[in-house]
Amino acid sequence: MAETAKKVGPTSDPEGGGSLLDNPLARKLVAEMLAGRIATVKPQYDFTTELGYVYPAVDQAANLKGEEALALMESLAARDIVRKSFFDRLIRCPRCQGVNLRPSSHCPKCGSGHVVRGRILEHFACKYIGVEDEFTAKGKYVCPRCRMELRTIGADYRSQGVLYKCRDCSEIFNVPFIKWRCLKCSSLVTEDEVGEVVIYSYTFEESKRNWLEFELQPKVRFVEFLSQHGYKVTENAKVRGRSGAEHCLDILAARDDGLVTHTVAIGIEIARDRIGLDRILDFDVKAYDSGIHDKILIAIPELGEEARKFASYQRIKVLEPKDLEILLTGGRHAARETVREPFEFKSKSQLIQYLEKQGYTVKEKTDVKGRSGAVHNMDILATKDEGIITHRIAIGVETDDKPMGLDRVFDFDDKAYDTGILDKVFIAVPGLTKEATQFAKRQGIRVLAVSQL
């Protein structure tokens, strides 16, 4: 494999990356990030709010506050559109869920909050231990218990250093017992009781730029384009393949033209670099297994050389950014309002009229050159160029005096195959044998059995 491009597109995401960006608020925020106006979404403390913090950037760009803003950022992070990093840890009141709490020191012995911190002195004579403040009187140290003056450190008294003293039970201690006072509901709770919440900042993931730029603009327009052409569009479509495997197609577009149903598999490959052969091979295998022969691959920024050759050989229509732009802005293939009416075969001329009404160009008894070099004469060839894809329907008309066997259908299928036409209709007068019908079904040929033309 000459090119290997790291996959960053939506198909690398089994959940399907498109759905989040269906949310217009997410789109607004992401657009701000792509425009470079927001690089990192940072929290700002605001104890008047429920959460205790806000994301001003989300508020400004998407007008979302509180939990909703947080949920949006989390969903972007889950899609790797932003990278989250630790910002702060807040503690939460278990009673009212507030996050504005103040620590308070308590006595580890009796639990009282009436504690003081200061230099602790011990009077040797009476063994009284207290905070320095208790001993000071008129510029001298006087013991509050025995009223003796303390003169010489080391001889009369000693200092135990800076510690805590409980005013209620006189306990001296080094480490106070910390409780938290909620400034919203005034509850006093212990350390084990408080909840905690980690808050994050979110930084735009530059490696997602190509994918997002596509998701936000051309993809939406492309899906609209398909809808305008009468397609029923499913994004991130799950399709069960003939092998039994389930495939996810980025876009599945289907339109029932009455005579035939056009199903188009659309793959989206976005990488930082050129798209390699492996990616297009995957797409082709998926489409093949799903029995879909109309294939479009959107390749951003572009296909590699090998991949391009493969696409052309496998009749995969490739749309690179410039092609997309032309397709989506060009009015050349303006959507045509097609009349949708159920098809029922009456006559050859009615069939032709029906197709022309659907926008097909119809030719009778026309020569088409096959891949083998042979020239085949088609009874009816209907062509419709939609800009993105050209639909060709081969229609064979065969008449006999009894139901026709396998050989007639086989010849028709062979012709169609050689010319690369995969939408096939076979008009059999007066019909087919059972064996021939089964063959036609297996080959995806629509059979119209009529008693006479």
Which listed residue (72, 82, 121, 143) binds Zn ion by CB under 5 A? 143
169/245 with CB nearer Zn ion: 169
Cα end-to-end span (Å), the chain: 55
Select from 333, 318, 315, 324 the least CA-distant residue to 387: 333
Quote the distance between the C-alpha of residue 101 and its chain's center.
Answer: 38
Q: Which residues touch 98 (CB under 8 Å, ≥6 apart)?
A: 47, 52, 92, 182, 183, 184, 185
Phi then psi dihedrals of residue 247, to 5 deg: -110, 150
Q: With binding defined as CB under 5 A, does residue 126 bind Zn ion?
A: yes
Which listed residue (78, 169, 198, 326) binds Zn ion by CB under 5 A? 169
188/429 with CB nearer Zn ion: 188
Q: With binding defined as CB under 5 A, does residue 84 bind Zn ion?
A: no
115/303 with CB nearer Zn ion: 115
Q: Is 245 helix (H, G, I), strand (E, B) or coil?
A: coil
Which listed residue (28, 65, 83, 109) binds Zn ion by CB under 5 A? 109
The radius of gyration of the chain from alpha carbons, rounded to an integer in Å, stands at 39
Which listed residue (166, 297, 327, 368) binds Zn ion by CB under 5 A? 166
Q: With binding defined as CB under 5 A, does residue 151 bind Zn ion?
A: no
On whether the CB atoms of residues 58 and 44 are closer than 8 A, the answer is no
148/449 with CB nearer Zn ion: 148
Quote the distance between the C-alpha of residue 229 and its chain's center.
Answer: 26
Show contacts with Zn ion in window 353-372 (CB under 5 A): none
Site string for Zn ion, 185-204 (x = CB under 5 A): x-x-----------------
Number of Cβ atoms within 10 Å of the Cβ of 17: 24
Which listed residue (42, 184, 348, 408) binds Zn ion by CB under 5 A? 184
Q: Which amino acid, one-letter code, is at 132?
A: E
Quote the distance between the C-alpha of residue 444 and its chain's center.
Answer: 35
Q: How near is the Cβ of 105 to Zn ion at its closest, in Å?
A: 11
Positive or negative torsion for Cα 327, 333, 338, 342: negative
Which listed residue (6, 117, 140, 145) binds Zn ion by CB under 5 A? 145
Q: Which stretches of the chain bind Zn ion, using CB under 5 A?
A: 93, 95-96, 98, 107, 109-110, 112, 123, 126, 128, 143, 145-146, 166, 168-169, 171, 182, 184-185, 187
